[in-house]
Structure 1
């Protein structure tokens, strides 16, 4: 395969930017409070429910939809409110240079809602670097690691799995990508690498220097 024929599928949070310092704590707190209100439980029980659904289904929302009939649009709107999102987005400005150097088409493939994902990309000045942005609404709430979400993206963009490289901080999501026949890149500091991961990098910025390994 020529370099230009390769297609890159990038996760957003903790792949293209660092959501851990500010954004994830805010979202996790908002989700916990939503569950408290919804189910009438205390903070500790709501936190356990949030974590259990995330571990089992890939997102807290999936569990709430499945077991409690939650309206996904309401949930996403309530849990992704930010008073000052630009201050919360942590990223390296070298990301733009890296993406420009990377041959092939590029898509964002995220379980995040559209309004949030596009806002983050605009804050970073990166939206124009991508050929498309696939978010949980476009996936019809068949979020990663569900194979249905992957297949919807592939079908709509007319892509073959063998063309694609999934770049992601979640090993579970990469397992689905590999099952479909994609190459996989794990962004993580931990040295342990699952068998379905082709390449582990500490930073997405290192990607162009390791293309020969893919």
Structure 2
């Protein structure tokens, strides 16, 4: 049976993930965060870099974020974790006026839904030069430290911002984070690497582009948005 993707004609709210979605995977900004997370885990648990890496990725898969795993298993304070891992160099990000113009033309509201912090989101949006187009950022603190893909996180987001999922679209780089949005009625878009430049991702992070809960797949978010308006 052919999958018929949901349309965009009825959309009045546009929801975007942040990292590896609003900027290309190959910028590898998240690689810096990833390295900082490994350092934090190793230092906190007094284990080798190799063991820290194993724990980091295990918690990421099982809990949605390494931070959630560290909080649950070891009592880590979220503030300490976030403050450390987001001390990165945002300079690899370049302004993207074309994306900003495309986002500005989308009819309705634009919101950010991220497992990162608002401080990190603000820094990313400022470097891209697109922050003025977004009404609000819903971050891991607003989610009460429960990351995507937890169903309650999406419900909190929808409730806080008065969003009707049946009239919303969600853009994400992880297919698993689109399962619940699709179930709720959102039109879903998976943003993937362009296949040309090298990216640092786990194999499972790149899976799911053929999944039933993914309506559209793009390796060029700016171009995709331009074609919508």
Once residues 20 and 102 of structure 2 are traced to their aligned partners in structure 1, the CA distance between those partners, rounded to angstroms, is: 16
Once residues 224 and 162 of structure 2 are traced to their aligned partners in structure 1, the CA distance between those partners, rounded to angstroms, is: 24
2:222 to 180, 196, 205: 205
Q: How does 1:114-193 map to 2 (within 5 A)?
A: 114-189=118-193, 192-193=209-210
Once residues 106 and 12 of structure 2 are traced to their aligned partners in structure 1, the CA distance between those partners, rounded to angstroms, is: 10
Once residues 91 and 111 of structure 1 are traced to their aligned partners in structure 2, the CA distance between those partners, rounded to angstroms, is: 22
Unaligned residue ranges in structure 2 (runs of 5+): 1-6, 194-205
RMSD: 2.2
Spell out, residue by residue over 1:64-106, the C-alpha distance to the aligned partner (whole angstroms, 9 max, x if none). Answer: 1111111001100011112x42x12246331111112211211
Once residues 90 and 147 of structure 1 are traced to their aligned partners in structure 2, the CA distance between those partners, rounded to angstroms, is: 33
Query: Contact (CA 8 Å) 1:4, 1:105: kept in 2 or not?
Result: no
TM-score (norm 2): 0.84
Any idea what SS the aligned residue of 1:88 has? coil
Once residues 20 and 141 of structure 1 are traced to their aligned partners in structure 2, the CA distance between those partners, rounded to angstroms, is: 28
Unaligned residue ranges in structure 1 (runs of 5+): none
- Structure-2 residue corresponding to 1:26: 32
Q: Which moved more, 1:33-42 or 1:14-23?
A: 14-23
Aligned-pair CA distance for 1:54 = 0.9
TM-score (norm 1): 0.90
Once residues 208 and 57 of structure 1 are traced to their aligned partners in structure 2, the CA distance between those partners, rounded to angstroms, is: 31
Distance 1:100 1:4, change over 3 A: farther
Distance 1:46 1:56, change over 3 A: same
Q: How many residues align?
A: 210
Spell out, residue by residue over 1:23-70, the C-alpha distance to the aligned partner (whole angstroms, 9 max, x if none). Answer: 222111111111111111100110011111111121111111111111
Query: Contact (CA 8 Å) 2:95, 2:127: kept in 1 or not?
Result: no
Q: Which has the higher contact order (CA 8 A, sep 6+)?
A: 2
Once residues 90 and 42 of structure 1 are traced to their aligned partners in structure 2, the CA distance between those partners, rounded to angstroms, is: 35
